[in-house]
Amino acid sequence: MTKIALVWLREDLRIKDNAALSYATQNHEIVTALYVYNKIEFDGKREAQKWWLFKSLKNLQKDLKVYNINLEVLLGDDVEVLANIKNNQDISIYANKVYEPSQKYKETKISSHFNVNKINFKLFKGNILIEYQEVVKDDGTPFKVFTPFWKNAEQRYLNKIPSKPTNIKKLKNSKSFFKNTIQIEKILPKNNWYKKFEKYWMPSETEALKISKEFIKNKISQYGDTRDYPNIEGTSKISPYLKHGQISVETIWRECSEIKNKGKGYRKYINELGWREFSHSLINNFPEMLKGNLRKEFDRFPWVKNNKHLDAWKKGMTGYPIVDAGMRELYETGWMHNRLRMVVASFLIKHLRIHWREGEKHFRNCLVDFNEANNVAQWQWVAGSGADAAPYFRIFNPFLQGEKFDKNGEYTLKWVPELKNFPKEYLQKPWELEKKYQEQINIVIGRDYPSPIVNHESARNAALQAFQSLKK
């Protein structure tokens, strides 16, 4: 065994249940943790996550110090940085897998470099319950439908010897390994947009463990009923922590398994973790879906290019209050409730007939929980072009969605406060209130809040017609 170990961190910014870190501290005298910040992967693409990453690395650096582990941050390309390591440096390298084709590519390249140069390199299971290659149909092909996928995956996971949580050992000494480290502050975005996120999030492992514990203790039993209502904090809001690996999905699973009376809430929650597994399986088995439609007939879909509409959607100025509320929540907090993600995605794709890729790109840039697998799989799910997708002809009616899932308008008014004096029955369709009453309450549609950018009925008919054209 070499004296030094280097742990290459990516989406595993935690101490608990971190297999690579644990193995390194059990087997080496000195352990250094490395994060390589690749600007190209973030600039103009994942601006919200720059803030999350900055905070997370800062907190992890502090936490690792207690164990005498230096976290060193470098600017550049992971493969180039790692390829500079020489075999006379008495070092072994460890990492946890990341299940994205571009990350897998890096793992393969690095692995072959270390192989050739006789440097010890070991990859551990990443933040997933079960390796996607293990979940296949009887004929060996991957699943494209969620229910059989999850039935198979969950059973395989349950059949395994339950994994034990891993911990790390405190080391006697620490050592700096790299000379060209950067200040973590360098990661922060140039504009101040992220400042608002400070009000809503604390990106650390401690916070992740706390949130998950409290959710399982106090909320999971109701999750089956509350998860669809954006005015209630009924979901776990663990997604950004899971994305950055501040909590392992196995930790969540283990804690859920300890629930004595496992009811509907438990089942629903576990199924959502199953959707996460499914998305990861999809993008690895069908990587072409990262670039285009999984169902090829959608390549003929007559998408509309309309920057004015796209802009109104991004800014939360479509004139449909529930859609605007969702988009404003996203911009303000870096997160959006799942029900709203479905509503706003459906609106962009079906009412505006703008390509789902535009929405996927915007979410990628604005979400603190952006996850390549979930994002692309869910956008294609809404579009109808993905695996086990919602049929294209099922078109969400935005005002009915608003009336059903935000009955008292609390969520809508939180983000669209200009409508606060509107009578409740007109909140989701404010344009229907007679102009003289709008004037009485001093909010005129078209002046103080936008008129709907498209008419629901005609947009719906146009979408259905466009869909029909695929069948010709």
Indicate which single residue of 64, 129, 382, 443 sits in contact with ligand FAD (rule: CB under 6 A). Answer: 382
The tokens describing 240, both together, are: 């950004």
Q: CA torsion angle for 150, 151, 152, 153 (degrees, to 10)?
A: 40
Tell me how far apart the alpha carbons of residues 110 and 313 are, in angstroms, rounded to a whole number.
41
Considering just the CA atoms, what is the radius of gyration of the chain in Å?
24
99 touching ligand FAD, by CB under 6 A: no
Indicate which single residue of 375, 385, 401, 428 sits in contact with ligand FAD (rule: CB under 6 A). Answer: 375
Least spacing, CB of residue 378 vs ligand FAD, in Å: 3
Active site residue 272: yes
Looking at 38, 167, 253, 303, which residue is catalytic? 303
Least spacing, CB of residue 197 vs ligand FAD, in Å: 15
Looking at 8, 313, 335, 356, which residue is catalytic? 356
According to CB under 6 A, which residues from 261 to 280 bind ligand FAD?
272-273, 275-276, 279
Q: Is the CB of 240 or the CB of 430 nearer to ligand FAD?
A: 240
- Which residues are within 8 A (CB) of 80 and not within 5 positions of it... i.e. 6 or more apart? none
Least spacing, CB of residue 219 vs ligand FAD, in Å: 9
The tokens describing 389, both together, are: 């997708």
In angstroms, the Cα distances linking 358 to 8, 305, 349, 371, 406 are 32, 10, 9, 16, 27
According to CB under 6 A, which residues from 195 to 234 bind ligand FAD?
227
Tell me how far apart the alpha carbons of residues 237 and 186 are, in angstroms, rounded to a whole number.
27
Least spacing, CB of residue 338 vs ligand FAD, in Å: 4
Q: Number of residues in contact with ligand FAD, rule: CB under 6 A?
A: 27
Q: What x/- string results for residues 309 through 338 when contact with ligand FAD is judged by CB under 6 A?
A: -----------------------------x
Indicate which single residue of 49, 96, 374, 385 sits in contact with ligand FAD (rule: CB under 6 A). Answer: 374
Helix (H) or strand (E) holding 123: strand 121-124
Helix (H) or strand (E) holding 70: strand 70-75
Q: Is the CB of 363 or the CB of 449 nearer to ligand FAD?
A: 363
According to CB under 6 A, which residues from 341 to 370 bind ligand FAD?
341-342, 345, 363, 367, 369-370
Residues in the chain: 472
The tokens describing 330, both together, are: 């996203």
Rounded to 5 degrees, what are φ and ψ at 288? Answer: -65, -20
Looking at 51, 52, 150, 275, which residue is catalytic? 275
Tell me how far apart the alpha carbons of residues 285 and 387 are, in angstroms, rounded to a whole number.
12
Q: Is the CB of 236 or the CB of 438 nearer to ligand FAD?
A: 236
Tell me how far apart the alpha carbons of residues 224 and 237 are, in angstroms, rounded to a whole number.
15
Sequence letter at residue 290? L
Q: Is the CB of 70 or the CB of 236 nearer to ligand FAD?
A: 236
Active site residue 356: yes
Least spacing, CB of residue 366 vs ligand FAD, in Å: 10
Least spacing, CB of residue 314 vs ligand FAD, in Å: 14
Least spacing, CB of residue 449 vs ligand FAD, in Å: 25
Q: Is the CB of 16 or the CB of 244 nearer to ligand FAD?
A: 244
Least spacing, CB of residue 68 vs ligand FAD, in Å: 33
The tokens describing 206, both together, are: 């401690």
Active site residue 201: no
116 near 86, Cβ under 8 Å?
Answer: no
In angstroms, the Cα distances linking 344 to 67, 326, 427, 443 are 45, 7, 17, 24
Q: What is the DSSP string of 327-385?
A: HHHHHHHS---HHHHHHHHHIIIIIS---HHHHHHHHHHH-TT--HHHHHHHHHHHHT-
Looking at 29, 272, 285, 431, which residue is catalytic? 272
Beta bridge partners of 74: 36, 181
Q: What x/- string results for residues 233 through 262 when contact with ligand FAD is judged by CB under 6 A?
A: --xxxxx--xx-------------------
Sequence letter at residue 97? K
Active site residue 379: yes
Q: What x/- string results for residues 390 through 419 when contact with ligand FAD is judged by CB under 6 A?
A: ------------------------------
Residues that bind ligand FAD (CB under 6 A): 227, 235-239, 242-243, 272-273, 275-276, 279, 338, 341-342, 345, 363, 367, 369-371, 374-375, 378-379, 382
Catalytic residues: 272, 275, 303, 338, 356, 379
